[in-house]
Structure 1
Amino acid sequence: MASGKSAVGEAFALSRGQKFVDTDRMIVALHGPIKGIFTSRGEAWFRGMEARMTAECLESDAYQVVSLGGGAILDSGTQQLLASTVVVFLSVDAKTVGPRLKRGSARPLLNGDTMDRWEELFQQRLPVYQRLADIVLDARRKSVSALVEELGLILTESGG
């Protein structure tokens, strides 16, 4: 959440001439703002839609870069699909995401004390992120272009 997945994913896809897909953007385009979905239909409905969109992207024959919402990895079906692709985890900390969240956020799970709630969610999800990740990039205080370059080098060295 607020790690820069969309910005890095989009820039990386562009650098490789690949298609970029952001599952949160897909959901918003079809159903409206995520905060509104949580209010009107609930988190469970959103998570189901998120899992379907993720499966649609990951089962596609297209070679593409896909950015998932921070909670998408909690779905067991999504975890199984991710096992057959390269998963990049952008590792961040509260100091890195704090300014991003202060700029305004329509993230429905960050009600109340935003940073405490972010830290709680991050710690809950971290073991799953680490288990699923093929590549971990330290995204603390690095630019999007530096992360794109680093990822490109790692994939080139590994034959990816």
Structure 2
Amino acid sequence: MKLILIGYMGSGKSSVGKVLAGQLSVNFLDLDAEISAEENKSIPQIFSDHGEVYFRRKEAEVLKKLLEKDEGCVLSLGGGTPCYGKNMELIKAAPKATSIYLKTGLLQLTERLMVEKEHRPLIKDLDSSEALEDYIRKHLFERTFFYNQSDLIVSTDGKSVDEVVAAIAEELD
């Protein structure tokens, strides 16, 4: 079984994914880490050297490869991954795969990302909390259509990583 974690950046996909994979005794894979390894560059370096269009093409290519593998895993996607090209169709068509949307509210995302923005190429130049909140609001509006196509939707607001993992486990039973 493949569990595919979907959600906006800062929703906890990597943190939840690592704990969930440990509980299920399967590998944890982070799509961005897989892309970085294949390109031998960091995600910010890929964006800087080649731009977002190149990155999105590479992202789709690596996603397809990972979905075609036979072994089970927990796979954390980038926040935009389901929204580009035919990525959501690939996810939904993947055999023995369950997509899980980690739904996180605007205020919680803004708080989390304000602290992390230097490490995130798409938001690093936003200079205020208000600008970041506006950016997130716009993206959530655009992306919710794709995120809501997930097999499961789990709210993360006000929950610890362990509580989110427990909610996912309960939904999977």
**TM-score, normalized by length of structure 1?**
0.90
1:66 to 75, 90, 103: 75
Residue aligning to 1:91: 103
Percent of aligned positions that are identical = 30
Q: Which amino acid aligns with 2:139?
A: L
**Alignment of 1:4 onto 2:12:** yes
Q: 1:42 aligns with which of 30, 48, 51?
A: 51
Choose from 122, 126, 129 the match for 1:109.
Answer: 122
Q: 1:127 aligns with which of 127, 132, 145?
A: 145
TM-score calculated relative to the size of structure 2: 0.84
| Residue 143 of structure 1: aligned partner | 160
| Separation in 2, partners of 1:30, 1:61 | 19
How far apart, in 2, do the equivalents of 1:30 and 1:63 lie?
Answer: 20
Partner of 1:51 in structure 2? 60
Structure scoring higher RCO (CA < 8 A, sep ≥ 6) equals 2
Structure 2 CA distance for aligned equivalents of residues 35 and 23 of structure 1? 14
Cα distance in 2 for residues equivalent to 1:27 and 1:141: 31
Structural RMSD (CA)? 1.4
Gaps of 5+ in 1: none
Q: What is the rounded CA distance, in whole Å, between the counterparts of 2:158 and 2:42 in structure 1?
A: 28
Mapped partners of 1:63, 1:69: distance in 2? 19
Inter-partner Cα distance in structure 1 for 2:22 and 2:153: 20
Structure 1 residue ranges (4+ consecutive) displaced by more than 4 angstroms after TM superposition: none
